[in-house]
Amino acid sequence: MKNKKAFLYGIASCLTFLTHLAWAGFSVNNGQLVDSNGNPFVMRGVNHAHTWFTSNTQAITDIAGTGANTVRIVLSNGTQWSRNSGSEVGNLIQLCKSNSLICILEVHDSTGYPEQTTATHISSATSYWLSSDIKSAIQGQEDYIIINIANEPFGNGVSATDYVDDHIDAINALRAGGITHTLMVTAGNWGQDWQYFLRDNASTILYADPQQNVIFDVHMYEVFGNASAIQNYMQTFANNGLVLVVGEFGASHNGNNVDEDAIMQNAEQLGFGYLGWSWSGNGPCCTDLDIVNGWNPNNLSSWGNRLIHGANGIKETSVAASVYGGDGNGASSQCTWTDGTVWPMCSTDVGGWGWENSQSCVSQSICP
């Protein structure tokens, strides 16, 4: 009996090892998002509304220039806006990789369903990820991308049961279809979760995933206008050992205050990610949410200056994913140059370009 137990234990260990290999990429471990090297990764980044500005891919390089380690990219499955194809998605992923950015891809067409009458159900977003051209573009990129199933997939007026069950159905469909990436689930109530459907049911959604590889996304706008609301919300996820990302936020929204200082401070203290909305191109209602004015990386808005250069901001707290050479102490063995080229970082700072290991390297002091 003892030998039989040892034999069975060995089989189980092998299966666990093989399963881990099958899930190469990001994963959730002990309440942390970890990359494929097993190192914790905390998102510090920016949203880019690609699907409405498809020719403006320079924005991704410019976002990397802020020191961001992540970009969240708006895509369309074709139900509200022009569909972004697999080849287009593949090019975006390569741009992210060339700029040492982790790429979060999201389908925006479900925003506010069914309150927004033109929005489509989360099942349509699920079908997009499983379509042959998109699936071909994202498979094999698990080390570099995270799939945000659908942006703000429900508005108001739906039940908690519908919110939870429809997300579980989407996750199971993606897993059955061979998608092994870390999945990101966004809150309802137009992302702000004022009814707490996400906060109170996140554990149920996580454990319904056969891989238990799900992180959670709240959008903090006017519902989060004071520090106590922000701290209480984030602390609940921390207490439950869940990974939370503030996937969108600004300094104001629709003329209402947002406590961006508290968002960034609490995210830093709890090890949660944040992604400012958005690089540029917001309409007349929301120009105060533009991080740069007129797509010009040298013309930061007041919001952009706060996000990038302020306390607990991107410059101060962003660490590259270790798949790009970052380490747990904020150092990097690589430098992304201004043209997007990735160069080795010199081990000794010579104040310029150097030569090590039979190749050119860049001194940390001149790395942009």
Residue numbers annotated as active site: 152, 248
Listing DSSP states for 4-53 in one string gives HHHHHHHHHHHHHHHHHHHT-S-EEETTEEE-TTS-B---EEEEE-GGG-
How far is residue 181's CA from residue 39's CA, in Å, rounded to a whole number? 16
How far is residue 315's CA from residue 319's CA, in Å, rounded to a whole number? 9
For 366, counting Cβ atoms within 10 Å of its Cβ (0-12 exposed, 13-18 middle, 19+ buried), the class is middle
For 239, counting Cβ atoms within 10 Å of its Cβ (0-12 exposed, 13-18 middle, 19+ buried), the class is exposed
Helix (H, G, I), strand (E, B) or coil at 100: coil
How far is residue 358's CA from residue 84's CA, in Å, rounded to a whole number? 41
Measured between alpha carbons, how far is residue 330 from residues 66, 111, 140, 245 in Å?
15, 35, 27, 19
**Token pair belonging to 266:** 């609490």
Strand 256-257 and strand 252-253: pairing?
A: antiparallel
Cβ contact 172:178 at 8 Å: no
How far is residue 211's CA from residue 92's CA, in Å, rounded to a whole number? 26
Max Cα–Cα distance, the chain, nearest Å:
73
Nearest alpha carbon to residue 252 among 197, 200, 302, 191: 302
- Element (H or E) spanning 350, and its range? none
How far is residue 53's CA from residue 55's CA, in Å, rounded to a whole number? 6
